[in-house]
Amino acid sequence: MVDALMARALRALSRRDPAAFRACVAELAACGERPGDRLLPARLQEAATAAWHRGWQPADVARFTARTLGARHRRLVVDVIAAESRAYPAATTDAGWRGQLAALDARVWWTRDEELPRGWRRREGADRAEVLACALEVLHLLGALPRLPKIAPLPGEPSAAAGPVDERMLAKVRALLAKAESTEFPEEAEALSARAQELMARHSIDRALPAARADGAAAAAGPAGRRLAVDAPYESPKAALLTVVAEANGCRAVWHRELGFSTVLGFPADLAAVEMMFTSLLVQATAAMVRAGARRDAGGRSRTRSFRHAFLNAYAARIGERLRDAADRAAQAANQAANRAAHADRAAVGLDGAEGPRDAPLPALAARDRAVDQAVDELFPNLTRGRARAVSNYEGWVAGRAPGDLAGLAASREIADRRR
């Protein structure tokens, strides 16, 4: 009977019939605690497992639940994820997956699963019907999740060996970006962000060269993926900002407009750099936008939304230009250094006209770009490019480009201590 009532409640949600749903919840609440409290946690865990097989990951599910249903539903789904994760030994779980569980604080704080609904009621200060409604809404959401490309191994599946991320480099980048976020001067913020970009680009080059020399080793540590939130308001210019940051760092971003996130594909160290840079630039752009203030037209009507939409679009466009310039400078400097080293090698052995043994970084970077493009084609075979929404506020566009235009961005010196 409980199973049949739950099925009826889910059908009512699918039909968008709130009266029928409330009636089913009331009947379930009247059935007593034991039958429903045993069945509901099991159904929710099964739905979470099915979501993983449709390409979703723990952070995706928690984020989409909060976006679609609310904070209480998110807390419930995090508990469901924690319960479901007990089935997988930590040794068989990908490090990225474990990191998401830790970030969500997904942990089992109850003794037995049949006690979980009672624990939810105490924690949320809600009655039985409210908790049942919340759990059924989460169950319906999980069952209706669309299929996504699989970007990481599921728990229990073997994971490809990914090269280690240089935590010292990431720490330097974080420090530069933290300074950029804390300053009130746009010129200084842009210069610090550009230095961070050059450092990340140089690190990517340093990793590309040995991978290109290792016959077939690069394939074992090929492109990976991660999903980054693109939250309201102004999702379109935020997605554009993520796109330009990704492309400047040898990655590609695919925006899932209806789901509130983008899938970013690239090599692991580059993905970490993209996430840091995008998060920091979003903070900087938002602060600059708020400082620009509200806007009204001659008739007193608010034009703040169109102003801010144009501001962020212009900021993304200008930052894209600056980040590409910074990445290009790093590549050219590395190429010149390789040419000088090759010339020194030739001179040392008296082969002035012969080809030297040194590797130039540009072909290695091009090979990585091709690998990322191939991964995009395989995961998104029907990918289409859409046109950005038109910008209707010229004042906002000019204001958004100003922080980038004012900055010198010719980072005063190259990043020192390049690896030879």
Residue 139 binned pLDDT confidence (cut-offs 50, 70, 90): very high
Residue range 366-373: mean pLDDT, rounded: 88
Q: Each residue of 171-196: pLDDT tens digit? A: 777 787 788 778 777 777 777 777 77
- Render pLDDT for 70-122 as a digit per residue (tens, 0 to 9): 999 999 999 999 999 999 988 888 888 999 999 999 999 999 888 899 999 99
| Residue ranges in 249-360 assigned as alpha helix (H) | 268-292, 304-348
Count Cβ atoms within 10 A of the Cβ of residue 49 and give its class: 0-12 exposed, 13-18 middle, 19 or more buried: middle
Beta bridge partners of 254: 263
Q: How confident is the model at residue 253 (pLDDT cuts 50, 70, 90)?
A: very high
Tell me which residue of 273, 269, 276 sits closest to 165, measured CA to CA.
Answer: 269
* Neighbour count for residue 261 (Cβ, 10 Å): 24
**Nearest C-alpha neighbor of 218 from the set 96, 368, 94, 335:** 368
Q: Report the interhelical angle of 304-348 vs 394-406 (nearest 10°).
A: 30
Backbone angles phi, psi at 33, to 5 degrees: -80, -45
84, 50 Cβ separation under 8 angstroms: no
φ/ψ (deg, to 5) at 254: -120, 120
Find the range with the poorest average confidence among 30-44, 55-69, 154-168, 281-295: 154-168
- Please state, in angstroms and rounded to a whole number, the distance separating the CA atoms of residues 129 and 26: 6
CA–CA separation, 91 vs 155, rounded Å? 9
Residue 106: what residue type? A
pLDDT attached to residue 298: 61
59 to 252, 264, 281, 284: CA distances (angstroms):
20, 14, 22, 24
The sign of the dihedral angle between the CA atoms of 406, 412, 418, 420 is positive
pLDDT of amino acid 300: 61
Cα dihedral 387, 390, 394, 395 sign: negative
Q: Is 327 helix (H, G, I), strand (E, B) or coil?
A: helix
Asked if 225 contacts 94 with a C-beta cutoff of 8 angstroms, the reply is no
**Rounded Cα–Cα distance for residues 244 and 324 (Å):** 8
Mean pLDDT of 308-314: 86
* Per-residue buried b or exposed e for 120-138, using 16+ beta carbons within 10 Å of the residue's own CB: bbeeeeeebebbbbbbbbb
Cα 146 off chain centre by: 18
Q: What is the pLDDT of residue 172?
A: 79
Q: How many CB atoms lie within 10 A of CB 330?
A: 24
Q: Rounded distance, CA 318 to CA 281, Å?
A: 12
What residues pair up with 263 in beta bridges, in sequence order?
Answer: 227, 254
Predicted confidence at residue 397, as pLDDT, reads 61
Selection from 283, 306, 304, 278 nearest residue 292 by Cα: 304
Concatenating the DSSP letter of every residue in 156-211 gives TS--PPPPPP-HHHHHHHHHHHHHHHH-S-HHHHHHHHHHHHHHHHHHHHHHHHHH
62 pLDDT more than 70: yes
Distance CA 277, CA 281 (A): 6
Burial class (CB in 10 A: 0-12, 13-18, 19+), 158: exposed
Q: What percent of the chain has pLDDT over 90?
A: 41
Cα(363)–Cα(359) distance, rounded to whole angstroms? 9
The tens digit of pLDDT for each residue in 194-247 reads 777 777 777 776 766 555 555 444 444 689 999 999 988 889 999 999 999 999
What is the widest separation between alpha-carbon atoms in the chain?
93
Strand partners, 296: 302
Tell me the helix, strand and coil percentages in the chain, rounded to 5: 65, 5, 30
